[in-house]
Structure 1
Amino acid sequence: MNEPAKRILIAEDDANIRNLLSSYLSINGFETDAVGDGSAALRHLAEHRYDLVVLDIMLPGADGLEICRKIRQNRSLPVLLLTALGAEDDRIEGFQAGADDYMVKPFSPRELVARVGAILRRTGGAAQQDPASEGAGEETASATHPIQLDWDCKSATYQGAALDLTHSEFKIMTALMRRPGVVFSRNELLDVLYPHGESVVQKAVDVHIHNIRKKLGENGARLLQTVRSFGYRLAKHHDDAS
């Protein structure tokens, strides 16, 4: 039995770009709704279920960054940001808002379709190998570790309380939890996030780590440790973070 088509919300104020994206995504098997302002995007998000959102940053009504932050307050819906602003600081601001990926205008509609597919694959939108089975034989974080991941449900807890991670943050934590105490370079974590070689700024990893630490509270930096000039590692045992 075929899986139902993935449903995507496009929020873009330029009608030509909006119609072009809707056409390309529809041709490639996606269902789409398209709106031209932030207020309409928020209404659609409240009334319908989507598998991914394509958000222009410079939307009237409510801008894309504001909408992305609102999404991250209560759900892990994948977000692809579109913008005419290509500076590194602008891209980092997008990742800080919770975006899963970022494209700078002008862009190829074919590349956008490819990135949408890649995001859905890595966030569970397509069949994937069970993460719990990857890295078989390697030491994983123990059941007494304060951070626990449920790979089947794509959920996390910290000291027994729900830990609201984005898809990208969950991917990073999955890699670190499988090999506690092992240092991962930024490039290795980028490969975890973008296995198909999508172009992205290296600092995206730093932004995701910062956001995870913030969610972990005062012990965040002790649990997710920086190894200067090398990368990051997860504290192997609870005592290592105290």
Structure 2
Amino acid sequence: MQTHAPFFPDENAAGEVGDITAKAKILVVEDDENILNLLSAYLESSGHEVVEHRDGLSGFQAALSDTFDMCIFDVMLPHRTGTEIAEAMRSQGALTPILFLTALGSETNVLQGFAAGADDYVVKPFSPRELIVRIKAILRRSQMANEAEAQLLEVGPIQLDLEHPSCNLSGRTISLTPCEYKILRGLLERPRRVLSRGQLISLLYGNDVAVGPKAIDVHVHNLRAKIGDDAGVIIETVRGFGYRISISGDAGRKLQ
């Protein structure tokens, strides 16, 4: 087993680099036991769940069979290299952030690492403070991306921004009134389910405002006109009850 420079140059270094706030499940594949133990100890002390592997084959199997918030790979590993693990993950569409931690520091090595799908590349021996800052930055970016994705409601060709009310339909922006937006959101959050006019009134105005069902019919009429009929999005009238939304084509079949 190859011996590298100590992870923390002194026993107080871990406490000086600051905490990583976002809690995460992190896969660490490293054949240097000293680095592996110290890195895992710090990450676990920050509240993270760490899954350790000391060879490329077991790390490869873990990376492709489990879900992680971040992966940290040495490059020169027994049986499978970190580069091979990263390439396999990316070929399967995995977007998990990957950091390479390796003694291979030439420009060619670094470029190969990024080409394999790495989000960052740290060369041994390394500054523990710099490494922790990089891990924290990667987790923060990943968390922000996940939150942004969660704030987007996407059904078929419709994308509804849940934070800044707006609607995109097949690449074109649709200007909606607040009532139209609320109706569309209510229908999209319950695809193929019928919402009564009474439910839509409560959604728009609450239970303390006296509004007739005709007001809902007017909003739906205007909403239909804005959506059009060329994108396969249909707001259906269920006679005597209310409305539901349906999507035609492949996207619609996924809702069934």
TM-score in terms of structure 2 length: 0.48
Q: Deviations over 1:180-219 (max 9, x none)?
A: xxxxxxxxxxxxxxxxxxxxxxxxxxxxxxxxxxxxxxxx
User: Any gaps of 5 or more consecutive residues in structure 1?
Assistant: 137-141, 145-242
Q: Does 1:65 align with 2:93?
A: no
Q: What are the superposed Cα offsets for residues 135-169 of structure 1, whole Å, 9 maximum, x if unpaired?
A: x9xxxxx927xxxxxxxxxxxxxxxxxxxxxxxxx
Counterpart among 103, 114, 117 of residue 136 in structure 2: 117
Residue 132 of structure 2 corresponds to residue 77 of structure 1: no
1:6 maps onto 2:6 in alignment = no
**Which residue of the other structure, out of 50, 64, 67, is the alignment partner of 2:68?**
50
What is the alpha-carbon root mean square deviation over aligned residues?
Answer: 2.8
Q: Please, which runs of 5 or more residues in structure 2 have no aligned partner? A: 1-20, 153-160, 165-169, 173-256
Between the two proteins, what is the percent identity of the paired residues?
A: 44
In 2 relative to 1, CA 14–126 (structure 1 residues): closer, same or farther, beyond 3 Å? same
Equivalent residues in 2 for 1:1-242, closer than 5 Å: 5-74=23-92, 75-124=94-143, 143=171
User: Aligned-pair distance for 1:28?
Assistant: 1.8
Give the 3 Å change call, closer, same or farther, for CA 7–17 of structure 1 in structure 2: same
What letter corresponds to residue 119 of structure 1 in structure 2? I
Counterparts of 1:37 and 1:125, CA distance in 2: 31
Aligned counterparts of 2:22 and 2:133: Cα–Cα separation in 1: 19
> Distance in 1 between the 2:58 and 2:46 partners?
25
Larger gyration radius, structure 1 or structure 2: 2
The residue type paired with residue 28 of structure 2 is I
* Count of aligned pairs: 136
- Measured after TM superposition, the shift of residue 24 of structure 1 is 1.2
SS at match of 2:100: strand
One-letter code aligned to 2:117 = G
Q: CA deviation at 1:110?
A: 3.2
- Measure, in 1, the Cα distance between the counterparts of 2:43 and 2:116: 25
Whole-Å Cα distance in 2 between the matches of residues 39 and 125 of structure 1?
31
On the 8 A contact 1:25/1:113 being kept in 2, the answer is: no
SS in 2 for 1:80: strand
Q: Residues of 2 paired with 1:32 and 1:123: CA distance?
A: 17
SS of 1:123's equivalent in the other structure is helix
Which AA in structure 1 matches 2:71? V
1:125 CA displacement: 5.7
Letter in 1 for 2:85: I
TM-score where L is the length of structure 1: 0.50
Q: CA offsets, 1:207-236, max 9 Å, x none?
A: xxxxxxxxxxxxxxxxxxxxxxxxxxxxxx
What amino acid is the match of 1:117? K
Alpha-carbon offset, residue 35 of structure 1: 0.9
What displacement does 1:4 show? Answer: 8.3
